[in-house]
């Protein structure tokens, strides 16, 4: 049986919220038209950015269902903001800033850290069926340690690493984290050095 696209499923999930937002909107003569335009714009943005937002969140939380739940929250926040104040001037930067903040907060939560410790065997970020059980367990443990280290780092340093290793360019990182483009390389190098120090210390325990 073919699995329906998660984008379609999620758009269907968010539509009831959009409908309720429209019902509660002011009753000026142009409100219905503006609301429809906002909904149409939102769906286009959703389709364009959903996969990348989910990928960043999945790297952080290690669970596809939770990553999609968090991604839905990102887009719902965007929709509410657009209804009140219009789209952010820099849409991509806004989206990925909210994405990385939500994901990082989930990573740092006590419940999440405890779950990582108890379920390390389920934390593989990539499905690699050719690995034997011992190799898979070792890779899962490595990813578990990576998340532990990120959770203990300064938020901006962790966010720099998350975005960079999710494939973002220096200019995209600068926009998302509201940094000077020229400072990203230096800040990233410091974050990588801090990460390496913490990771090695954790391995020695």
Residue, of 50 and 121, whose pLDDT is higher: 50
What distances in angstroms separate CA 149 from CA 1, 40, 93, 136, one per listed residue? Answer: 40, 41, 25, 20
Residue, of 22 and 182, whose pLDDT is higher: 182
pLDDT value at residue 73: 92
Dihedral of alpha carbons 25, 26, 32, 37, sign: negative
Q: Which residue is it, tokens 């996969």?
A: 51
pLDDT band at 63 (very low <50, low <70, confident <90, very high): confident
Rounded distance, CA 42 to CA 13, Å? 14
pLDDT band at 121 (very low <50, low <70, confident <90, very high): very low
* Mean per-residue pLDDT, 15-25: 53
CB 147 within 8 A of CB 60: yes
pLDDT value at residue 96: 87
pLDDT band at 44 (very low <50, low <70, confident <90, very high): confident
Q: Which residue is it, tokens 């990203």?
A: 184
Q: Give the long-range contacts of residues 140-144, CB within 8 A, separation 24 or more.
A: 143/62, 144/116, 144/117, 144/120
Q: What percent of the chain has pLDDT over 70?
A: 64
pLDDT band at 5 (very low <50, low <70, confident <90, very high): very low
pLDDT value at residue 185: 95
For 146, list phi and psi in degrees, rounded to 5: -60, -45
Q: Quick one: which of 47, 39, 34, 1 has its CA closest to 18?
A: 39
pLDDT greater than 90 at residue 201: no
pLDDT value at residue 126: 46
- Mean predicted lDDT score pLDDT of the chain: 75
For residue 180, what are its two tokens? 């000077």
């Amino acid at each position: 049986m073919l699995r329906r696209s998660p984008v379609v499923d999620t758009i269907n999930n968010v539509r009831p919220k959009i409908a309720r937002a429209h019902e509660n909107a002011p009753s000026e003569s142009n409100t219905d038209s503006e609301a429809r335009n906002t909904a149409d714009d939102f769906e286009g943005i959703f389709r364009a950015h959903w996969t990348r937002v989910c990928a960043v969140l999945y790297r952080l939380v290690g669970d596809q269902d939770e990553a999609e739940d968090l991604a839905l929250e990102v887009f719902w926040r965007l929709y509410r903001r657009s209804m009140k104040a219009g789209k952010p001037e820099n849409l991509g930067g806004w989206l990925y800033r909210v994405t990385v903040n939500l994901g990082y907060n989930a990573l740092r939560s006590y419940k999440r850290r405890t779950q990582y410790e108890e379920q390390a065997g389920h934390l593989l970020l990539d499905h690699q069926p050719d690995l034997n059980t011992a190799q898979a367990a070792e890779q899962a443990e490595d990813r578990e340690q990576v998340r532990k280290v990120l959770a203990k780092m300064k938020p901006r340093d962790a966010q720099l690493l998350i975005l960079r290793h999710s494939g973002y360019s220096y200019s995209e990182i600068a926009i998302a984290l509201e940094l000077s483009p020229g400072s990203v390389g230096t800040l990233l190098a410091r974050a990588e050095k801090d990460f390496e120090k913490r990771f090695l210390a954790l391995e020695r325990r």
